[in-house]
Structure 1
Amino acid sequence: MKVLLTIPHVFAPLKGSLYSSQNELKRGLKTKALHSATVGNIDRHSKRHWIHASLGLGKSIVTRELSTNLGVDIRVEVFTPSKATLASELETNISIHLYEPNCTDYQQIPLIASRHLLEQAPHYDLLGYMEDDILIEDPEFFSKILYFEKCSDGSHVFIPHRCENIPGKGDVILSGDPDGGRPDLFWDTGELINIPWPLGERKFYRATNPHSGCYFLTKTQASKALAYWEAHNWTPDFELSGPLEQAGSGLLLPIFKVMKPIPEHYRFLMVRHQDRLWERHPFESSGGVSSDLISF
């Protein structure tokens, strides 16, 4: 399986900003996160792996390189301006490629990366757009995406929940839905579908909040999205709240039904967000006071 991941990346500190990409205090965290999103994902999902092997009775143990056909051929392309980047600190890796977006408005970089991804549809089996702090922990993640397409009628795109871990408490799903839903949004239909799985059916719902910081498409789906946006001259009829959201699920909503696992089944399809956004919001009290987890 050939997989392409495109990642927009900007680090440009701005005094007083709440965004991690503009926070000098998060330089170390963002550097580590970018490493996880690039090198980390390659190491987890490529065909190369290692085993400790003895050279024989009474002989030394070596670390031996092996290859598994359960891995994928993965290429990571990072779209990042040379004057506002942490990518220069990445180690050299033949699977990582840096691209200068050649734009003065850094808010256009997510769309540049997402558009480029769709334009590569003929050359890959699976294509993924990700923000620069996403770690895909599930070793069968890409195989699941291909499987889901076979289980649906072609109108659905399946995206993971983006989660962080609260130490001592457990995982938190970052992009949750508002209580009561959003009936003003055309995609908030409440649709629910079941995906067959050997350990029991997994349920997916058409999420009110379609953002997860990433999306993943098969070759067929990416080609369909590319044809739509070329026909519309890359001009949307509506826009989500920010450039990251618009370049992500914003490119999918006019074409597909964006499905997420129901919260109970979040572990079945999830990615790890390399940050501590959970610290921004208070825990819900017994009185029912909660913070808004929606960003669109």
Structure 2
Amino acid sequence: MRVLVSIPHYFREDPQSAYGSGRMKASARASSLAMALHGLLDLENEASSLVDFRRENGRLAANSVPDLRFEIVVCTLGDNHLMETLAPDLRARVHHQPALCPPEKLGFIAQQILANNMGNSFDFYGIMEDDVLISDRYFFDKLAYFSNDTNKVLFPNRFEIEEHRPNRKLYVDGPYGYVSNPEFEHLLNDRRSCDLAWAGGLVRLQKVVNSHAGCFFLSREQMRFYRAAPAFGDHVTQYVSALESAMTFGVMRTFDVYKPARENADFLEIRHLGVRHLVGPGQA
């Protein structure tokens, strides 16, 4: 399975910023970027092992390697990035593509990178924020299983954890009130759900008020349909902000977007490499 991932990456330190791209220290933001990239590449490699006491520093491969191969493009603006902090071996696996646009439009440039590579026949096309981590080795198998219906797209639930309490999760994209906007109010009032057969049981999937997940991934057929849809190129930004709009709003307006319901929220999830929601914006 070949996956193209486009990552908009911007950093310019600004303590007043509402986003980690300004609020976080450069060292913390660089660590998040490296973790996000390693998270993808470790899914395609033999990253797990078993200690072999029969020989010094012995290791045996553990867990079957998923059939995955990533092509990663990181798009940046000017000098406002932390690409130079990446280890050489990590940089060698990443395509660095500078862009010319206002910072708030960088997510839309990341989408255009996907559209420009439709001829390369990837199985999935996706964009990710630069501070999210996929650690589920079956993440793309689950997406492939659901994407048989090209009209429906499955988004993960994004969560935060405290390092010393890793099972205390906070899913950070919960429902909230929007100012009435006739252009997309009908999208927010659609509360449909469906059940997905998985591993001998049923997983409940739900259309939710807040579809944002810090990423999206579309199958080849879905990406082809999205590229031709009016919502792809219009750069509408009123869904929370330009960042959330680029990641979420166009897909929302083109497909039926589902997430795993609260009772099985961890069926498909992605970690936000920050704790702003968990501990509060003044302490993150």
TM range (shorter): 0.7 to 0.9
Q: Distance in 2 between matches of 1:133 and 1:111?
A: 17
Q: Distance in 2 between matches of 1:236 and 1:18?
A: 21
Q: Distance in 1 between matches of 2:105 and 2:177?
A: 32
- Tell me if 1:9 matches 2:6: no
Q: Distance in 2 between matches of 1:73 and 1:205?
A: 30
Distance 1:117 1:67, change over 3 A: farther
* 1:40 Cα offset (Å): 2.6
Whether the aligned pair in 1 keeps the contact of 2:237 and 2:246 (CA below 8 Å) is: no
Q: Distance in 1 between matches of 2:135 and 2:63?
A: 19
Quick one: which of 73, 76, 89 aligns to 2:69? Answer: 73
Whether the aligned pair in 2 keeps the contact of 1:14 and 1:22 (CA below 8 Å) is: yes
Distance 1:255 1:67, change over 3 A: same
* 1:138 Cα offset (Å): 0.5
1:272 alignment partner in structure 2: 271
Distance 1:13 1:206, change over 3 A: same
Q: Distance in 2 between matches of 1:238 and 1:54?
A: 54
Counterpart AA for 2:168: G
DSSP-derived class of the 1:30 partner? helix
Distance 1:89 1:216, change over 3 A: same
2:258 alignment partner in structure 1: 259
CA RMSD of aligned residues (A): 2.9
* 1:207 Cα offset (Å): 1.2
Q: Distance in 1 between matches of 2:155 and 2:32?
A: 20
2:82 alignment partner in structure 1: 86
DSSP-derived class of the 1:254 partner? helix
- Give the TM-score of the pair, scaled to structure 2: 0.85
Counterpart AA for 1:40: G
DSSP-derived class of the 1:195 partner? strand
The percent of aligned pairs where both chains have the same amino acid is 24
Distance 1:66 1:196, change over 3 A: closer
* 1:239 Cα offset (Å): 3.3
Counterpart AA for 1:2: R
Q: Distance in 1 between matches of 2:190 and 2:218?
A: 22
Q: Distance in 2 between matches of 1:233 and 1:76?
A: 21
Q: Distance in 2 between matches of 1:10 and 1:237?
A: 20
DSSP-derived class of the 1:258 partner? strand
Q: Distance in 2 between matches of 1:31 and 1:236?
A: 28
Q: Distance in 2 between matches of 1:175 and 1:52?
A: 36
| Structure 1: 5+ residue stretches without partners | 283-296
Distance 1:181 1:164, change over 3 A: farther
Distance 1:257 1:181, change over 3 A: farther
Distance 1:137 1:89, change over 3 A: same
1:217 alignment partner in structure 2: 218
Q: Which runs of structure 2 are paired with 1:187-226 in the superposition (5 Å)?
A: 187=187, 188-226=189-227
Q: Distance in 2 between matches of 1:108 and 1:42?
A: 27
- Give the TM-score of the pair, scaled to structure 1: 0.82
Whether the aligned pair in 2 keeps the contact of 1:52 and 1:61 (CA below 8 Å) is: no
| Structure 2: 5+ residue stretches without partners | none
Whether the aligned pair in 1 keeps the contact of 2:34 and 2:86 (CA below 8 Å) is: yes
2:35 alignment partner in structure 1: 36
2:241 alignment partner in structure 1: 242
Distance 1:63 1:210, change over 3 A: same
Structure 1 window deviating more from structure 2 (7-16 vs 205-214): it is: 7-16
Q: What are the Cα deviations for residues 88-118 of structure 1, in whole angstroms up to 9, with x where unaligned?
A: 1011233211111133x11111110122123
Quick one: which of 146, 151, 158 aligns to 2:144? Answer: 146
Q: What are the Cα deviations for residues 40-90 of structure 1, in whole angstroms up to 9, with x where unaligned?
A: 3211x11444646869x7x54545779955241112111112411112101
Structure 1 window deviating more from structure 2 (213-222 vs 81-90): it is: 81-90
